[in-house]
Amino acid sequence: MQTESARMSSAKEARFRIDAPNSLQRATKVIALDAPSEHVVKRLATRPWNGAAFFTATAFGAAPSRGASLRGWLSDLAGRTKSLVDEVNSADLVVMVATAGENVPAASLIGEACSLKRVTTTALIAGSAGKSDDVLAKTLSQLRPWALMLVIANSDDYIEDMLRALRA
């Protein structure tokens, strides 16, 4: 006689798996940290998403002082000012998008806010193909302390696939 494991792992039995939603919509906040990434994020934002919201932190400019960290501001893609704390508070996942070689001073602010609010962070460095390790290290060192998952992709076409895979 077949064991339960044998029977239940068959293709025939797979047909009886419950076909009902098994998750609620996630709140994914995607934040561009530099000007080239802002172009990418703006392009992505025009597509349909499952609740993902897109922002830019490029207006932070020079690195803010640590004491000012939680008073940081984001911009949505229409240019409206948004409170970093409010956006992090309502996030399940914050994705920081950077470009290899760029300076990303906002990473520490956003990372600190996420750390305080126990929100998972993912950082993505795109456009690493052809960039030297020194150039890459400059961006990496600013992101590494603040990202629970860091991805270094050769091109920016990964971002969309990643967000889709994460049901963003």
Partner 1 sequence: MLRKEQNDLLTQTGPGTPMGQLFRRYWLPALLAEELPENECPPVRVKLLSERLLAWRDTQGRLSLMDEFCAHRGVSLWFGRNEENGLRCPYHGWKYDHTGQCIEVPSEPEESGFCKKIKLKSYPLVERGGILWTYMGPPELKPPLPEWEFALVPEDRRFVSKRLQECNWLQALEGGIDSSHVSFLHSGELNKDPLFKGSKGNQYNLSDRKPVFEVVESPGGLYIGARRNAENGNYYWRITQWVMPCFTMIPPRADHPVHGHFWVPIDDENCWAWSFDYKVMRPLTHEEVQAMRDGQGIHVKYVPGTYRPLANKDNDYLMDRAAQKRGDTYSGVEGIAMQDASLQESMGPIVDRTKENLVSTDNGIIMMRHRLLRTLKAMEKGETPPGLDLAHQRVRSAAIVLPPDQPYKDAAREALMVQPGKAHVSV
What are 123's strand-pairing partners?
96, 150
- In whole angstroms, the minimum distance from the beta carbon of 93 to partner 1 comes to 6
Q: Tell me the C-alpha to C-alpha distance, in Å, between residue 138 and each of 63, 97, 102, 104, 141.
A: 14, 15, 7, 9, 6
- In whole angstroms, the minimum distance from the beta carbon of 2 to partner 1 comes to 7
Closer residue to partner 1, CB minimum distance, 58 or 104? 104
CA torsion 113-148-37-107 (nearest 10°) is 40
Per CB under 8 A, residues contacting partner 1 are 2-6, 8-11, 13-14, 17, 22-23, 93, 120-122, 128-129, 133, 136-137, 140-141, 144, 147-154, 157-158, 161-162, 164-167
Closer residue to partner 1, CB minimum distance, 9 or 89? 9
How far, in Å, CA of 85 to CA of 99, rounded?
24
Closer residue to partner 1, CB minimum distance, 33 or 124? 124
Query: Left, alpha or beta for 119 (phi > 0: left; psi -120 to 50: alpha)?
Result: beta
- In whole angstroms, the minimum distance from the beta carbon of 44 to partner 1 comes to 15
- In whole angstroms, the minimum distance from the beta carbon of 78 to partner 1 comes to 27
- In whole angstroms, the minimum distance from the beta carbon of 74 to partner 1 comes to 20
Closer residue to partner 1, CB minimum distance, 76 or 160? 160
Name residue 112's amino acid: E
Closer residue to partner 1, CB minimum distance, 26 or 73? 26
Contact call for residues 131 and 162 (beta carbons, < 8 A): no
Residue 43 belongs to what H/E stretch? helix 35-45
